[in-house]
Amino acid sequence: MKIISINGQGGTGKTTTAKVLLGRFENSAYISGDALVAVNPFGVNEKTDRLVIKNSISLVKNFEQENYGIVIICGIIRNQAQLDSFVNNLNEKTDFLFVWLRASKEVRHKRRVERARDGADNPAEFDFIDKIIPDQDSFSMKFGQFLEINTDDKTPEEVAEIIKKEIQ
């Protein structure tokens, strides 16, 4: 089984790219990070960090048991500690691709205003959200591959094609 984990700050194109990828692979599954920790009250803390990893690993195992060949996970990892926690729960033989999408602040904010998906897309929240999910310079991989893509001048379809080529 191949696992593709697509991550990055809000407005980089994670969700849209993941959904495009889902349509490009037969026998594939998609896991949205947002749905893994929909709790009230919501907070970004150690508890929700643990939940998102535990819930995503459980779903990955379920998809594996049902013989899905590719699992695309979107927006569950925002730092090295979360990446390490996720990878520590995988078999080292797992074909794992960790993708970090990045875009300039201007591009990200423009995309978020245009989509207006939820409260986090309110311009008054942008700086707060950027502090919770800061851009990362690099990640250290225990195993698997790391791919970084700047999405400033790319469509989600172009980004999906870059990812697809990486795993074929």
The CATH number of the domain covering residues in 2-167:
3.40.50.300
Tell me the pLDDT tens digit for each residue of 127-148: 767 776 767 788 889 889 999 9
- Taking phi first (over 0 means left), then psi (-120 to 50 degrees means alpha), and beta for anything else, what does residue 143 get? beta
For residues 137 and 27, give the distance between their C-alpha atoms in angstroms, rounded to a whole number: 33
For residues 1 and 63, give the distance between their C-alpha atoms in angstroms, rounded to a whole number: 9
In a 3-state reduction of DSSP, which class is residue 10? coil
**Which one has a higher pLDDT value, 8 or 125?**
8
**Closest listed residue to residue 56, CA positions, set 78, 41, 71, 69:** 71
Mean pLDDT, the chain, rounded, equals: 89
So what's the pLDDT on residue 128?
A: 65
Above 80 in pLDDT, residue 120? no
Q: CA 144: distance to chain centroid?
A: 15
Please give the structure tokens belonging to residue 25.
């692979």
Average pLDDT over residues 103-116: 82
Above 90 in pLDDT, residue 68? yes
So what's the pLDDT on residue 29?
A: 98
Above 70 in pLDDT, residue 124? no
**Closest listed residue to residue 97, CA positions, set 164, 19, 21, 4:** 4
Above 90 in pLDDT, residue 63? yes
Q: Considering the chain, what percentage of its residues have pLDDT values greater than 90?
A: 61
Predicted TM-score of the model (pTM): 0.89
Tell me the pLDDT tens digit for each residue of 2-29: 999 999 988 899 999 999 999 999 999 9
